[in-house]
Amino acid sequence: MTTAKPWYLSRTIWASIVAVLSGGAGYFGIPIGGVENGELTDALLQAVSAVAGLVAILGRLGAKDRIG
């Protein structure tokens, strides 16, 4: 592995977060029977990508210096 990417773009990290949250939800009695972990991971990753894109656009619009 020679390239690095932000942690929030890692499918492994998101799958792990989903696993921890679904395990915790089951422990606390929250019903999660109809949810596929893979589908939930994909949905969360898409949401994070959309938010990151929006933040990038808003950051560029609010920037005081031009890109060189």
Q: SS3 letters for the chain?
A: CCCCCCHHHCHHHHHHHHHHHHHHHHHCCCCCCCCCHHHHHHHHHHHHHHHHHHHHHHHHHHCCCCCC
| Whole-structure pTM value | 0.55
pLDDT attached to residue 21: 82
Residue 62's Cβ-side half-sphere holds a number of Cα atoms within 13 Å equal to 6
Identify whether the C-beta of residue 41 lies closer than 8 Å to the C-beta of residue 10. no
Q: Give the residue ranges of the chain where pLDDT is below 70.
A: 1-2, 67-68
pLDDT attached to residue 54: 85
pLDDT attached to residue 67: 65
